Amino acid sequence: MIDDILEFNKKFVESKGYEKYITNKYPDKKIAILSCMDTRLTELLPAALGIKNGDVKIIKNAGGVISHPFGSVIRSLMVAIYELGVKEVMVVAHSDCGACHMNSNEMIEHMKARGIKQETIDMIRFCGVDFGAWLDGFEDTEKSVKGTVRAIMEHPLIPEDIMVRGFIIDSVTGELTKV
């Protein structure tokens, strides 16, 4: 499959398909969006929000959550705010999220079934990784959004003048509901 993607890319560049996407690194709308990596949102989210290439910074991960106060999501938000001029943050979760009800113990069993040794898992735990905190999902999407919004607003390195708002998008219709 990757070879098919590489072949498409070669033709895309040769035909100058990139020209309609040219922009700069600064988001025109001064907004960063934290959202889920769900494939249903790849085109639906920008279409439903009326955003185009160059408008916003989009940060995606499993569940659209902050799993660590000094992890990649906060780092990305800090870069967006301090280096790229972002003034507002939208947290956009979605209906029927795969991260909802994720269970770290089940994921560990899947890891072991795919060849990860128990000794490796034990060693990582010994180094201080709490698999439950890191890999568990959430039970309530609205509560998850509220917690993520609060984590951003209360973060000691995020300035108080940044507006942070939370939403849930319907993963079928694109309807946005404020949380």
Q: Nearest-CA neighbor of 148 among 89, 87, 84, 95?
A: 89
Looking at the chain, how many residues does it have?
A: 179
Residues flagged as binding site for Zn(2+): 36, 38, 94, 97
Q: In the chain, where do the E strands start and end?
A: 31-36, 56-61, 88-94, 163-169, 176-178
Check the CA dihedral 142-149-77-81 and report its sign: positive
Residues flagged as binding site: 36, 38, 94, 97
What's the rounded Cα separation, in Å, for the pair 154 and 132? 23
What's the rounded Cα separation, in Å, for the pair 54 and 61? 20
The SS3 assignment for 34 reads strand
